Amino acid sequence: MQNHNPNLDDFLKIYSQSLLSTGLTRGLDEKTYIPTRLDTALKQDVLQGKKKLVVLTGNAGDGKTAFIQLIEGEAKLDGAKFSLETDNGSKFEYSGFDFETLYDGSQDYDGKKNDELLKTFFRPFEGTKEPNGNFVKIIAINEGKLRDFILKKREYVWLGKMVHHYLEFNNYKLPEILAFINLNNRSIVEIDDEGSILDKLLDIILDKNNLKGFWHPCEPGNCEYAEKCYVKRNIDTFNDNDLGPVVRKRFKEIILALYLKKEKHITMRDIRSLISFVLFNKYTCKQLQKDIDNGKNLLERLYYNNIFNAVEEDRIVRIAAKIDVADMPLPKTENHLYFLNPKSESVNQIFHKNNFTSKLDLDYLEEYFNGKPQGTSDEDLVRRDNAEMYLNSIKRKVFFEGNDSFLQEQYDVNHYSFLPYKYFKRFVEFLKTGQDDSYELRNDIVLAISKSEKIYNEIIGRENVCISSNSSKKIQTKAFYGFKAADFEVVQPEVGNQTRHIEFFPDHIVFRHVDKSASLEINIDLFEILMRIKEGYVPTSIEIQTFFLNLEMFKRRILAKRSMKVFLTEDDTNLFSFEKSVVGKLVLTKI
């Protein structure tokens, strides 16, 4: 038997913290490249010379270079004549057009200053009119650098206007010869779209239908470790006809939660790296087989533990550890899981059925279960660590593989109960539909903002955005400026016609004044805090420092408007309104 899968070595190199090499984290990786909307909506227009300038902006790892290299590669296969090929771009003639590409328009290269490179690249766009000629320019560049270079040069009158309007105005329609694409707006996951970038990557790597034969070397006939290998178990779990769709959907929900946190923009490089670590961890066939031979418990390398690994330095894995489903306290469920053997029928019925012949992870779980403390007086540190590892692991397993119907019936929980976001489904539902026809969401946000200002009358707080006139605790009478809730709305963020070229799913809610003079971006963390405040929760000082900066700025912008009503109270119970009547008199009314 071979006992070796060379494809695993390649997939390990996708991970940002790979022990082998990180060579496959950058540029075009043909083995795992997936066609995105850029390919389907833009590639042929570029190759046919319909675009004279394509500008790609975004973070490192967004796939800008990979797309440009794909254009070059396709042209080369079709007979393009290259006059220049460098590490930072190329020049070639194809179908009667002169192409020039620049992989990074924000840096110096080959002894030339950045501005010198850009001046040569953009020369055809000098002047006051749309340029003529058979040429195509494709550049990846930082948006700030594009703004600084083009808008500060007098020679780019026409192009400067286009760049300015694109950057400043939503839905500005560029001339057909231009394509400006901001990959920061691209979403890698969409919960109901099985054709999302995440899904396409999973389809390729998992190779369920064995189209590429990636996992054929892992079959029992080719590897004697097949029934003991966590890599094969992880792959088999996602590919299982019964369990696979459940695990995959919940994996997507975790990735969606990371996306909605907005702590880091998740690039194509990031999601490839994350998938690699979740499915494969970091070890080669030879290394993991040595661990198996030595009898090492490898529970920590199962997919449901990989994704919440708190010691890895990968930037997205580190964020995932912050929303570890094992951290959510669920006493009734935990008591059941803690005291029952993971191989018992009582535990087994919690999980969706599967088609595994091996009990690999249950063997690992049982070893930790049997190594727990023998009683409350048992203070052995190893056994305590075993107990923590066991409970954390089986809770994660329940999140991904648990049967929601059974969990709801027996414990009054479901897999969403394990998330740190009580209002996750409500937040996502608005992002999917953009509908708030009854204004319930708007009014709840209004009430939450009012309560954050310490006004506790539910009716007044829901009908008005109330903002305190003074934060001093020494003042006996509290006053609040009132702004009608009807003057506010909740909407989805806009990216204009960018959706022609990128996959898009909103990552926040916009709460704004109807005149658009003041708006508040609400990510999932702020939404969670606001909804809890609405229910009576008092945020901690750390939560206020972390999540309330944008909220405080929003309140200041609202205070710049004229309030037509002031609310007064001394004891939070008796409330008075102070407003100008239709005849111009100031009227004080007890509410």
Q: How confident is the model at residue 28 (pLDDT cuts 50, 70, 90)?
A: low
Residues near 3 by beta carbon (within 8 Å), at least 6 away in sequence: 223, 224, 225, 285, 289
Report if residue 29 sits inside a domain.
no
What is the residue range of 147's domain?
Answer: 37-185
Q: Are 136 and 99 in contact (CB under 8 A)?
A: yes
Q: Which helix (H) or strand (E) holds 491?
A: strand 488-491
The SS3 call for residue 3 is: coil
Total length of the chain: 591
Judge if 108 and 216 occupy the same domain.
no
Judge if 552 and 583 occupy the same domain.
yes
Last-in-domain residue among 185, 218, 253: 185
Q: Are 466 and 455 in contact (CB under 8 A)?
A: yes
Using CB atoms within 10 A of its CB, is residue 222 exposed (0-12), middle (13-18) or buried (19+)?
middle
CA dist 294 and 95 (Å) reads: 61
- Look at residue 474 and tell me whether its pLDDT is greater than 90: no
Indicate the angle between helix axes 114-121 and 143-151, nearest 10 degrees.
70
pLDDT of residue 98: 97
pLDDT of residue 87: 92
More confident residue, 152 or 436: 436
Judge if 529 and 445 occupy the same domain.
yes
Report if residue 32 sits inside a domain.
no
Report if residue 51 sits inside a domain.
yes
Judge if 475 and 331 occupy the same domain.
no
CA dist 491 and 519 (Å) reads: 10
Structurally, how many domains does the chain consist of?
3
63-73 pLDDT, tens digit per residue, is 899 899 999 99
pLDDT of residue 323: 97
What's the start-to-end Cα distance of the chain, in Å? 83
pLDDT of residue 529: 95
CATH of the domain at 124: 3.40.50
Judge if 229 and 365 occupy the same domain.
yes
pTM over 0.75: yes
Mean pLDDT of 149-161: 92
Judge if 384 and 303 occupy the same domain.
yes
Report if residue 106 sits inside a domain.
yes
pLDDT of residue 288: 96
570-585 pLDDT, tens digit per residue, is 877 788 888 877 777 7
Residues near 40 by beta carbon (within 8 Å), at least 6 away in sequence: none
Judge if 401 and 460 occupy the same domain.
no
Judge if 301 and 437 occupy the same domain.
no
Q: Are 542 and 529 in contact (CB under 8 A)?
A: no
CA dist 267 and 187 (Å) reads: 9
CA dist 569 and 455 (Å) reads: 9
Mean pLDDT of 141-163: 92
Alpha helices in 308-455 (DSSP H): 315-320, 331-339, 345-348, 360-370, 381-401, 404-411, 424-433, 440-452
CA dist 275 and 281 (Å) reads: 9
Q: Are 276 and 22 in contact (CB under 8 A)?
A: no
Q: How confident is the model at residue 52 (pLDDT cuts 50, 70, 90)?
A: very high
Q: Are 49 and 134 in contact (CB under 8 A)?
A: yes
Of 439, 483, 471, which Cα lies nearest the Cα of 548?
471
542-558 pLDDT, tens digit per residue, is 887 778 888 999 999 99
Q: State the virtual CA torsion across 201, 207, 208, 209 in degrees, nearest 10.
A: 130
More confident residue, 31 or 565: 565
Judge if 248 and 297 occupy the same domain.
yes
Report if residue 28 sits inside a domain.
no
**DSSP-derived secondary structure for 364-384:** HHHHHHHTS-SSTT---HHHH
Report if residue 22 sits inside a domain.
no
pLDDT of residue 184: 92
Judge if 582 and 442 occupy the same domain.
yes
More confident residue, 153 or 247: 247
Report if residue 411 sits inside a domain.
yes
Report if residue 30 sits inside a domain.
no
105-121 pLDDT, tens digit per residue, is 989 888 889 999 999 99
190-229 pLDDT, tens digit per residue, is 988 889 999 999 999 999 999 999 999 999 999 999 999 9
pLDDT of residue 472: 58
For residue 109, what are its two tokens? 């290269």
313-366 pLDDT, tens digit per residue, is 999 999 999 999 999 999 999 999 999 999 999 999 999 999 988 889 999 999
CA dist 343 and 355 (Å) reads: 16
CA dist 246 and 401 (Å) reads: 7
CA dist 23 and 575 (Å) reads: 66
Judge if 224 and 290 occupy the same domain.
yes
Judge if 181 and 192 occupy the same domain.
no
Average pLDDT, the chain: 92
Pairing assessment for the beta strands 178-182 and 97-102 based on DSSP bridges = unpaired
Last-in-domain residue among 350, 385, 418: 418
Helix/strand/coil (H/E/C) assignment for every residue in 241-300: CCCHHHHHHHHHHHHHHHHHHCCCCCCHHHHHHHHHHHHHCCCCHHHHHHHHHCCCCCHH
Last-in-domain residue among 185, 200, 224: 185
